[in-house]
Structure 1
Amino acid sequence: MYEVRRRTFGALLVGGVTAAVLAACSNSDDSGDGSSGSKSGTLLLGKLIPLQSVDPHKVNDGTSNEVLTAVYDGLYTLDADHALVPLMAESFEKSKDGKTYTFTIRDAKWSNGTAVTAHDFEYSWKRLVNPDTAAPNSNEAVAAGIKNANEIVNSGADHTTLGVTAVDDKTLKVELVADVPYFQALLVRPAFLPLNQEYVESAGKDFGSKPESTIYNGPFAWSSWDFSENFAAVRNDTYWNAAEETLDGLTWRVVTDSQTGALLQESGELDWVEISGSLIDRYSSSDSMVTALEVHMWYFYPNFKTAALANQDIRTALATSFDKNAVANDVLRNGSEAANYFVGKNLAEGPDGKQFRDTGGTFLEYDLTAAKAAWTKGLAALGETSLSLRLLYWDDDASVGQAEYIAAEWQKQLPGLTIELTKAVKESANETAANGDFDLYLFRWGPDYKDPMAFLELLGSDSERDFGSYQNTDYDKIIQAARTAEVLADQQSRWDSLHEAEEILLGDVGVIPTVQNGIAMLVNPEVKGMEIRNVSLTWNYRLVTKG
């Protein structure tokens, strides 16, 4: 579920908040050009980040994951209320113990005319965890609880032992280590898309790098891309549900900045674009302006190898000396919310049917008096009267706005503190952080799957994303145990342990949360049915109409 807000004629309206059905993309009784089987033009989309690839196992960025769902069909997608909608899974059976799923694959074809079979899923999922693939999203198989995935991904077991088997062309059997309640919901992720082994191997290194070396089984098929500027897909007439699709195609245009994108949207050259910064105020009275709360989180990594930041009082002072509400409402203004937590709202429900956030605590709240006291105590323990810390951050509007505001607050409220600002493009900043060349790193993360572990495992000692080198043996024990069959089998106990992990992490000030991110958009009101469909802010392009 996503909270969605639309600004119309200067008023802020709070929507019915069902899974981010945007007001500009709501249902309509007007059939227009969107009647079944008719065509309604090309959807024009502005993106700030270029496409990496359309190989489902070679990407881990929002743009590529988003567009993959337009050209591939997995077993399921999600509807506007986040309920599962069958795609390639015509039906399924679940064993009494919940540990075996048997899927029947519907009749469908790849864009080259080859039948889509259960073998395509078996090959793809085993390719996902094959170390030779070096898939950045291989841990999703572990999160799904697929048999032997944890041993393959984290302990080097043979990838062919993954618990997925094509019984025949139409039957896919998946074995789990336990009854994982969110297993089917994870299957909407691009990591679990099918791939045709014969075609992938014949394409070799070119697979996923150009349209003529890639085939698809989704509603659209790539027609062109140059990665850095534009990429496009056209209607796939071999698609099993082509008769219900209305668009002629999709065109993504990479814009250099949100101001350029806004001007293109205003002139009719784009139907959708994200905006930020001063543009949010400029378009606040436009009926095209929409904001939504994402499940992405902004936070700082403190570098525990920096002597000053190894002191918990110093970290506590930094975490509690700036107003997160001001960051959300005055700096970003895009629907973000102050985050006194690490696992965000609307991510996942527990076995009790309640959201993780609704049954968790709050941490590191703004408290200037306590922050100043912690700062004084920390400096005394260090034998210092002043500190200089290097703050690393990305070069986009949201990063710059937060970094500059929070740095100014820190220097104003914490006597003797100097912040050295270092701005870099995201890829370069990540490389710098991975080398430990920072004191504080402002970072944003979007979860790969609907479980608190999508955030909490980032700070485990075996995580490649633990830029700050946080270490806590009790925390590690919980994170490692949460992947095991024994703990997965007791869902309430596991859920409680993940709450404990968050409490340990933020009690240690292992990270410093700022806000749960929002997104501000300009959307053509004639576009209907384009909705957020999963936890990583993937947009739906199926059955969308325009005009």
Structure 2
Amino acid sequence: MTKLFATTALVAALALPAYAVQPAEGETLAENQTYTFWLLDAIKSLDPAKNTDVEGSDVLRSLFEGLMNEDARGAMIPGVAESYDISDDKLTYTFHLRDAKWSNGDPVTAGDFVYAWRRVVNPETASEYAWFIELMNVVNATEIVKGELAPEELGIKAIDDRTLEVTLTTPTPYFVKTLSHPTTFPVPQQVIEAEGDAWTQPGKLVGNGAFTLASHNLGVDITLTKNPGYWDADNVLMETVRGVTVNDNNVALTRYQAGELDRVQIPAGQYPRLKEEYPDEAVSIPYACSYAYVYNLSDKGPEALKDVRVRKALSLALNRDIIVNNVLQGGQKPATTWTHWAIEGFEQPETELATLSQEEKTARAKELLTEAGYGPDNPVEVTLQYNTDESHKKLAIAAQQFWKPLGVNVTLNNVEWKVHTDRMQNQDFDIARYAWCGDYNEASTFLDWFRTDGYNSGKWSNAEYDKLMADSKTADDTTPLYTRAEEILAEEVPAAFVYHYAKVDMINPHIKGLPTENVLNTWYAKDLYRLAD
């Protein structure tokens, strides 16, 4: 076996904790080390096997720790794994674990990872992210998720308490990149078996992260406090981290300006003004998330959307330049693909969306709807559903206006996040606002979403697309496969891709350690510290 380290950063990390928080020379730390950030919606679950939300992942990365973490640029660095070996055929990874402890004092063992991963793929858990272990290409994951094999057949085993072995079905270049995702985090078997679903409650949750759960008032706030038993606790400066739920982004901005929040998303259209007024606080950086209007193509979906000409017309008619330049105004980019433009190694194909002017796209949209038998005299009737947020509302109104001249009558339906996601998972919608944020920095993190057995809330299915994504798992060069996959999405239009995100925030200049060069925007509370006023 060849001895490997994840990155040169990992080599340095083994010598000394170079990735730990290091205030710059001349910086004076505040006595009160607290960080308060904004949450748009309630965190649905603190169970790593059941979380599906970006906000939930942000919190879980402080309560738990996986085999690997990410540094400020997104490179993989040690988490619970101090190092790992890869077999010559690149199918077997052997991880060597550090001396880490759970927050109740028990040791973190290789068996905790085995239990956690088996639990994710076990159909009885009903994990919405079971597919993530499949795309990692762990042996037997797909068969277990389908109920064809027992969870014990998963390609992960504990050689001893400090040695974990994972076997893959095929060499997977991005495998290590997946190991900072909460789905792969260890969980405490004894606590879960003793407490059942209540194990994530304050006072019961046992984690292995740099912080512990002090309180969680669903839809109100969540508070974490420093874990003195964390293996690197000496290098953690932040003492208290608090997330506050505010459904109205404008209200959240007001609370930021009143000093109640240290970080908040800038409402649509306000970045230029705030950047001018607060140049040291308003930031916009690329963020690997894509915003789309997903079409329900299941049997429950509207008949009109079964016609690809209607789907394509709706997509072409969206004036993305107006959306990003006039409505959002925060450095976002029009989306002509599902994969975010900043993903490492991704090449965008030439499509109608990418090459035609908006005038040409609108004319083509009218032609397509006419061909499909629709127009002002026979309008398409659809409902556009979105979750509560002023930006989503503005974009939905804009879409409604872009589509109306074509002969498309759109009813807008605003619901809370949990209701929104539940309806999407059950295909109880016509068109739904959705966004996908990359789980790792490679195009498949986006493209796997549309596999027939992927997350794929609209239930679109295409055999060629599925084969491309399957073939990409073993391909030496994935670029032509990913390009063709995006071309199929452009031809079949299972969703109207709207824009690629930028992370547009107001950040208290006294808060240091938040990443600005990681396109996934993965942040860890253990890396943060607060400067004195």
Q: Which bin holds the TM-score, normalised by the shorter protein? A: 0.7 to 0.9
The 10-residue stretch of structure 1 (311-320 or 512-521) with the greater mean CA deviation from structure 2: 311-320
Which of 488, 500, 513 is residue 473 of structure 2 equivalent to? 488
Matched, 1:31 2:31: no
Partner of 1:4: none
Aligned pairs, number = 502
Is the CA contact 2:188–2:207 (under 8 Å) kept in the aligned structure 1? no
Partner of 2:462: 472
| 2: CA distance, partners of 1:90 / 1:47 | 33
Partner of 1:530: 514
The 10-residue stretch of structure 1 (535-544 or 162-171) with the greater mean CA deviation from structure 2: 535-544
Partner of 1:22: none
Partner of 1:21: none
Instruction: Give the 5 Å matches for 1:354-373.
Output: 355-356=345-346, 358=347, 360-365=349-354, 366-373=357-364
| 1: CA distance, partners of 2:255 / 2:368 | 53
SS in 2 for 1:187: helix
Query: Which amino acid counterpart does residue 491 of structure 1 have in structure 2?
Result: D
- The structure-2 alpha-carbon separation of the partners of 1:434 and 1:373, relative to structure 1 and needing over 3 Å to count, comes to same
Is the CA contact 2:39–2:244 (under 8 Å) kept in the aligned structure 1? yes
Instruction: Give the 5 Å matches for 1:492-507.
Output: 492=477, 494-507=478-491
What is the root-mean-square deviation in Å for CA atoms of aligned residues? Answer: 2.5
Aligned residues: percent identity? Answer: 28
Which of 233, 237, 245 is residue 242 of structure 1 equivalent to? 233
Matched, 1:407 2:373: no
TM-score normalised by structure 2 residue count:
0.87
| 2: CA distance, partners of 1:327 / 1:160 | 49
| 1: CA distance, partners of 2:63 / 2:217 | 17
Which of 152, 158, 170 is residue 178 of structure 1 equivalent to? 170
Query: 1:374, CA displacement in angstroms?
Result: 4.5
Query: Which amino acid counterpart does residue 45 of structure 1 have in structure 2?
Result: F
SS in 1 for 2:527: coil
| 2: CA distance, partners of 1:225 / 1:77 | 25
Partner of 1:218: 209
Query: 1:160, CA displacement in angstroms?
Result: 0.8
| 1: CA distance, partners of 2:117 / 2:142 | 13
Query: Which amino acid counterpart does residue 341 of structure 1 have in structure 2?
Result: T
| 1: CA distance, partners of 2:524 / 2:517 | 6
| 1: CA distance, partners of 2:211 / 2:460 | 44
Query: Which amino acid counterpart does residue 433 of structure 2 have in structure 1?
Result: L
Query: Which amino acid counterpart does residue 281 of structure 2 have in structure 1?
Result: S
Is the CA contact 1:531–1:540 (under 8 Å) kept in the aligned structure 2? no
Instruction: Give the 5 Å matches for 1:533-544.
Output: 537-544=521-528
Is the CA contact 2:73–2:515 (under 8 Å) kept in the aligned structure 1? no
- The structure-2 alpha-carbon separation of the partners of 1:495 and 1:533, relative to structure 1 and needing over 3 Å to count, comes to same
Partner of 1:88: 80
- The structure-2 alpha-carbon separation of the partners of 1:488 and 1:132, relative to structure 1 and needing over 3 Å to count, comes to same
SS in 2 for 1:213: coil
SS in 1 for 2:456: coil
- The structure-2 alpha-carbon separation of the partners of 1:196 and 1:380, relative to structure 1 and needing over 3 Å to count, comes to closer
| 1: CA distance, partners of 2:64 / 2:140 | 26
SS in 1 for 2:208: coil
Query: 1:380, CA displacement in angstroms?
Result: 4.1
Instruction: Give the 5 Å matches for 1:125-524.
Output: 125-154=117-146, 156-208=148-200, 210-277=201-268, 279-280=270-271, 282-284=273-275, 285-286=277-278, 287-304=280-297, 305-347=301-343, 349=344, 355-356=345-346, 358=347, 360-365=349-354, 366-382=357-373, 385-394=377-386, 395-412=388-405, 414=406, 416-434=407-425, 436=427, 438-467=429-458, 469-479=459-469, 481-482=470-471, 488-492=473-477, 494-524=478-508
- The structure-2 alpha-carbon separation of the partners of 1:438 and 1:67, relative to structure 1 and needing over 3 Å to count, comes to closer
Which of 45, 49, 54 is residue 41 of structure 2 equivalent to? 49
Partner of 2:13: none
Deviations 1:43-77 (A, max 9, x none): 12222222223221121112211101012121111
- The structure-2 alpha-carbon separation of the partners of 1:335 and 1:78, relative to structure 1 and needing over 3 Å to count, comes to same
- The structure-2 alpha-carbon separation of the partners of 1:425 and 1:204, relative to structure 1 and needing over 3 Å to count, comes to closer
| 2: CA distance, partners of 1:292 / 1:383 | 41
Partner of 2:16: none
SS in 1 for 2:123: coil
Query: Which amino acid counterpart does residue 353 of structure 2 have in structure 1?
Result: L
| 2: CA distance, partners of 1:243 / 1:250 | 17
Query: Which amino acid counterpart does residue 473 of structure 2 have in structure 1?
Result: L
Unmatched segments (≥5 aa) in structure 2: 1-20
Partner of 2:55: 63
| 2: CA distance, partners of 1:141 / 1:526 | 39
| 1: CA distance, partners of 2:454 / 2:133 | 16
| 2: CA distance, partners of 1:238 / 1:176 | 33
Matched, 1:76 2:65: no
Query: Which amino acid counterpart does residue 425 of structure 1 have in structure 2?
Result: E
Is the CA contact 1:72–1:216 (under 8 Å) kept in the aligned structure 2? yes
- The structure-2 alpha-carbon separation of the partners of 1:213 and 1:363, relative to structure 1 and needing over 3 Å to count, comes to farther
Query: Which amino acid counterpart does residue 240 of structure 1 have in structure 2?
Result: W
- The structure-2 alpha-carbon separation of the partners of 1:307 and 1:46, relative to structure 1 and needing over 3 Å to count, comes to closer
| 1: CA distance, partners of 2:326 / 2:63 | 39
Query: Which amino acid counterpart does residue 152 of structure 1 have in structure 2?
Result: I
| 2: CA distance, partners of 1:544 / 1:161 | 40
| 2: CA distance, partners of 1:202 / 1:189 | 26
Is the CA contact 2:304–2:380 (under 8 Å) kept in the aligned structure 1? no
Query: 1:240, CA displacement in angstroms?
Result: 0.9
